[in-house]
A and B are shown apart, each in its own frame.
Chain A
């Protein structure tokens, strides 16, 4: 039987005034896994507990089958960590610093130097790696942060907001790099981010945390299957739209207003005819003019109906 990548049981971390993790129980299998939640949802706290940087208040956590409290050193030798914030000293070169951290992670001197050169090349740092880090751009610093997480060839990479502070082009490059790490380097990767759109692009599994609790954990594919939507737009403004919503409700269909349209979830088993019939009947009964009827490709952010308003606004604009 395969050992789960990460396994937590009733994991709780309480600070003086805040509960960052609230009895979180989740099992994560190997792959490229997204850990998504709003800022303050407990993502960074979870990552730090997994690394043994923070002591949990209660509950247990295992990484690659090892207990994070009693076998912390073994866990840390198998894990690479890229923190969310700046963590690089400005006055040493990337080569020197990454090589040094490779040694601290357990590599012999020569191997550390060799691996440092190799991972810096992999993240796309070439001649500049001999210059002090203080002179690097944000994008280059993020690459060094990724390189230091890779230098000891870990089994698991924990990346906390790897695209922090990057411009759109930098984001794309970093995401491509993270994806390559997961697929070509054969490492399990957990990416914590508040940006669902980014995780959707590179992850094959998604864990959603909210206020320190597990909201959902499933493969991207299953979210997609469950979230086939039908958008219906009728003439006559919001009044007509809402009237249609009430009528659909009576026919047993839940709908949500979204801009000028109503959105209805289609059943995942492919039995969609009944839904289409109900929509047709409702519109005919109310004598409304149908403007648009569209089966929409899923968007993962539909999952988060009550979540951040920014995402809803983005929708409404579509």
Chain B
């Protein structure tokens, strides 16, 4: 009977329209899933993804500063049939944008959640406070690594496509690329914890950024003054300045080219870098263990 049929249909569609609250009985994953969510959310946030255009300006400007010279380099090199000999000094000339990126985006990851009181929402979920801090740190390490590694990748691929001749040459380029990646990793692993440990204490983004930049400037100044002292000993002042510290590690670990005068004992640079990372991670975790939520 048609009439009965039509009422059935309308009842059914009414039910579909208001399905009511559905309980969730699917899987519930553990802390790893939560940490991964914090990590990807953080990584997206560092580059302003899923945020308004305003948040994208600074990170992508720095990406451009890091990437554009490489593209120019590839273009020039393919015409002139020239090759860059070593990959591991690439970020040396680009310390400033790297430093600005860390100073500006570490607060994006940490200060923002404090300023807007978001932490209670995280800490009332089944994660540990250390999961939060370490996931955010991992996001920053990844972002800084990518910032150095992506231009290297562009150069490497450009070089293979244009001026690399023969298997031996390709092997050499690949080995150099690997060294470049290792150097990128050293930069990311040593610098990120420093920026994050400082940003963790500032609720306001601007204060955090200023504090990170102040640390660069003051440590570089101290290192410069000590370096001017007679003899080699003053050069150990470089251990205080993060970028000079990293350069010592680079020369020692990757047998890299010496760009400026270093203190005589290179392993000291490595020890100091490890100590810096350990202290910064401890400070970061300590801050989040105690912070009120």
Contacts and interface: CB of A to CB of B under 8 A. Distances in A.
A89 interface: yes
Nearest to A81: B124
A268 to B, nearest CB: 38
A87 B116 CA distance: 6
A118 B22 contact: yes
B51 interface: yes
B41 A100 contact: yes
Interface stretch (A24-32, A90-98, A289-297, A305-313): A90-98
B24 A106 contact: no
Given A53-B293, A87-B121, A77 B126 contact: yes
A152 interface: yes
B29 A108 contact: yes
Contact of A51 (B28, B41, B117, B124): B124
A74 B125 CA distance: 9
Q: For this complex, into which size category does the number of interface residues on chain A fall?
A: 35 or more
Nearest to A88: B116
A104 B24 contact: no
Given A87-B121, A96-B50, A104-B38, A77 B28 contact: yes
A277 B266 CA distance: 102
Interface in B46-63: 50-52, 54-55
Q: Which of B26, B31, B38, B120 has the most CB of A within 10 A?
A: B120
Contact of B21 (A88, A100, A122, A148): A122
Contacts of B24: 107, 111, 115, 152-153
A104 B127 contact: yes
A185 B36 CA distance: 29
B30 interface: yes
A155 to B, nearest CB: 10
Contact of B26 (A108, A118, A184): A108
A254 B33 CA distance: 63
Contacts, number: 102
Interface string B89-126: 00000000000000000000000110011101111111
**What's the dominant secondary structure at chain B's contact region?**
loop
Contacts of B121: 81, 83, 87, 101, 148
Given A53-B293, A74-B126, A108-B26, A93 B50 contact: yes
A76 B118 contact: no
Contacts of A112: 37
B231 interface: no
B116 A90 contact: yes
A41 interface: no
A88 B33 contact: no
A108 B24 CA distance: 12
Nearest to B34: A104
A215 interface: no
B125 A132 contact: no
A201 interface: no
Interface in A229-273: none
Contacts of A73: 31, 126-128
B166 interface: no
Nearest to B55: A91
Given A81-B124, A89-B112, A185-B21, A105 B34 contact: yes
A186 interface: yes
B35 to A, nearest CB: 9
Given A86-B116, A87-B120, A108-B26, A76 B51 contact: no
Interface in A40-64: 48, 51-53
A76 B113 contact: no
B20 interface: yes
B7 interface: no
Given A106-B125, A184-B20, 5 more contacts: A83-B120, A103-B37, A104-B38, A118-B22, A185-B23
Interface of B: 20-24, 26-31, 33-34, 36-38, 41, 50-52, 54-55, 112-113, 116-118, 120-128, 293
19 contacts: A48-B293, A53-B120, A53-B293, A76-B125, A83-B120, A87-B120, A88-B116, A88-B118, A91-B51, A92-B51, A101-B121, A101-B125, A104-B37, A104-B38, A107-B29, A108-B29, A118-B22, A152-B125, A185-B21
Interface of A: 48, 51-53, 73-74, 76-77, 79, 81, 83, 85-93, 96, 100-101, 103-109, 111-112, 115, 118, 122, 132, 148, 152-153, 184-186
**Lowest 10 A-B CB distances belong to which pairs?**
A103-B37, A153-B24, A77-B126, A81-B124, A106-B28, A73-B126, A185-B21, A104-B34, A76-B126, A51-B124
